[in-house]
């Protein structure tokens, strides 16, 4: 019952920007968009999250469309260490019982 | 500050046995969630605890149970282990139950049932 759709895999050249799309067409007004990544056999690592506005931190930028039905995670200068599975997740802002529903994610491979 | 700590990191058990996994959240975090990850099913939600109360439960059989202590540490227990329970079990903690609070995951416990 994942609420997001992502491409199964993507490739990107080292040093270039990696743009990972995510479709969340059923997102409701009170749901955040979260991005996590998982490097083989480690726990998922938080990257960034946003509600309406674009967000940027030291790791990445998150661009959310005006209608909030899709978003793009941007890794500005990809390195080999960015090779991982990237998960886009929506999470309710409503206080109370919550869970993260993970889809299959995008397997991003950074090529030298 | 210390991250989410899960113990043990690796575990091998025999079918029919039971197992207890431990999770110590980040100091000050009151919400703890558990996830099971397998190659076939991906990351699946098991349950979430907030202030010692189970708030949400995933679609797993009753053999899977958990609890949270007053210091927010959590344990999950799996009884009558089956081969299919072999998986990476991940714990995640959060400050609270608002959507603006992110989750921080531990490194997981890899359970192998033989």
Q: What is the rounded radius of gyration, in angstroms, for the C-alpha atoms of chain B?
A: 13
pLDDT of residue B63: 97
Closest CB to A93 among B43, B48, B99: B99
Residue of B75, B74, B104 whose CA lies nearest to B4: B104
Over 60: is that where the pLDDT of A94 sits?
A: no
Alpha carbons A87 and B90: distance in angstroms, whole number: 15
Could you read off the pLDDT of B43-93 as tens digits, one per residue?
899 989 998 999 888 889 999 999 999 999 999 999 999 999 999 999 999
Q: Using an 8 Å Cβ cutoff, are A102 and A89 in contact?
A: yes
Sign of CA dihedral B31, B34, B37, B42: negative
Q: Given an 8 Å threshold on Cβ–Cβ distance, is A43 in contact with B45?
A: no
Q: Do B105 and A44 touch (CB under 8 A)?
A: yes
- At residue A95 the predicted structure's pLDDT band, cuts being 50, 70 and 90, is low
Q: Which residues contact B17 (CB under 8 A, 6 or more apart)?
A: B81
B→A contacts (Cβ < 8 Å), by residue, are 4, 33, 35, 42-45, 48, 50, 55-56, 58, 88, 90, 92, 96-100, 102-108, 110
């Amino acid at each position: 019952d994942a609420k997001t759709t992502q491409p199964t895999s993507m490739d990107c050249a080292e040093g270039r920007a990696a743009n990972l799309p995510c479709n969340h067409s059923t997102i409701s007004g009170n749901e955040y968009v979260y991005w996590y990544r998982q490097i083989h056999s480690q726990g998922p690592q938080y990257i960034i999250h946003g509600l309406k506005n674009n967000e940027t931190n030291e790791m990445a930028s998150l661009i959310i469309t005006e209608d909030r039905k899709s978003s793009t995670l941007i890794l500005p200068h990809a390195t080999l260490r960015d090779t991982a599975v990237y998960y886009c997740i929506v999470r309710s802002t409503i206080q109370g019982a919550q869970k993260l529903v993970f889809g299959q994610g995008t397997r991003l491979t950074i090529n030298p | 500050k210390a991250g989410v700590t899960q113990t043990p990191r690796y575990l091998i058990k025999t079918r029919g046995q039971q197992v207890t996994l431990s999770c110590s959240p980040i100091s000050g975090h009151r919400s703890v969630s558990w996830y099971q990850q397998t190659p076939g099913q991906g990351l699946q939600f098991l349950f979430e605890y907030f202030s010692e109360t189970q708030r949400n439960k995933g679609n797993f059989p009753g053999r899977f149970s958990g609890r949270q202590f007053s210091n927010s540490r959590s344990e999950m227990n799996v009884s009558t282990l089956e081969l299919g329970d072999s998986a990476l079990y991940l714990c995640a903690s959060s400050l609270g139950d608002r959507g603006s609070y992110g989750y921080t995951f531990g490194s997981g416990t890899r359970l192998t049932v033989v």
